[in-house]
Amino acid sequence: MFSNRYIFIYSTIIVAIVAVALTLIAVGLKPYQDNNIRIEKMQNILKSINVVATPKNAEALYKKYIVKTFTLNAQMKPVDVDAFSIDLAKEVKKTDTSARLYPVYIACLDNGDSSYIFPLRGQGLWGPVWGYVALKNDFNTVLGVMFDHKGETPGLGAEIATETFQAQFFGKQIFDEQGNYRSIRVLKGGAKPDDVHGVDGISGGTITSRGVDKMIFEGLKAYLPYINYRKKI
């Protein structure tokens, strides 16, 4: 039989040992984990311009295609912050929206055209959804998109991360002929074949589809002053 005193001391020592061990391991492995997250971000950005990268060649391809990055503040004025290091999760949480930062990535494609990549972040059914929309240099036509999610339902909402869903966005337009902002709607019940502003939503994934719809609408809307300014030149 062990005394209470022994039990208390015993548990204290065990917990102390465990705490020290875990701290050392977490600190030691942090650089590797951060690097993985960085490389995944590069892969995601490249995917929005339809370049498939593996973890091994992501860094080289990113250097090759992404020629310029910059950051805009809420008034769409450039600020001196590294665009790649901005964590959008933190930006969308800011209660003061005028303090938000908006990163932009510019890619130079194989055919010499430039493409403008806008990161987006929104809310799905179970957790956050995020993605990148790449516009062609007319600032209207979609070159490609990339979506991912934290934990949407497999087979339903999680389908937003599949090639089939994302391929629908190719060639869609965010402005109508009069130049009004239409975004690209994710439509429940499907989009008409000739609809250049809509894609099919996911059956059984209505709330996730709505989340993606809102994310694109709100996300690109924030960049509108910049997009409109660039369209005029």
Where on the chain is the footprint of other proteins (CB under 8 A)? 2, 6-7, 10-11, 14-15, 18, 21-22, 25-26, 29, 32-33, 36-37, 40, 55, 151, 155
Minimal distance, residue 228 CB to other proteins, in Å: 38
If one counts every other C-beta atom within 10 angstroms of the C-beta of residue 184, the result is 24
> Which of 151, 171 has the CB closer to other proteins?
151
Q: What residue has token string 């499907």?
A: 190
Minimal distance, residue 5 CB to other proteins, in Å: 11
Contacts 24+ apart (CB under 8 A), 37-45: 41/84, 44/131, 44/132, 44/146, 44/148, 45/105, 45/117, 45/119, 45/132, 45/146
Minimal distance, residue 37 CB to other proteins, in Å: 8
> Which of 7, 79 has the CB closer to other proteins?
7
> Which of 40, 218 has the CB closer to other proteins?
40
Q: Are strands 142-149 and 128-135 parallel, antiparallel or unpaired?
A: antiparallel
> Which of 62, 226 has the CB closer to other proteins?
62
Minimal distance, residue 220 CB to other proteins, in Å: 27
> Which of 148, 218 has the CB closer to other proteins?
148
Q: At a CB cut-off of 8 Å and minimum separation 6, what does 150 contact?
A: 124, 126, 127, 128, 129
Minimal distance, residue 60 CB to other proteins, in Å: 18
Q: Could you tell me where the beta strands, DSSP code E, fall in 170-213?
A: 185-187, 198-200
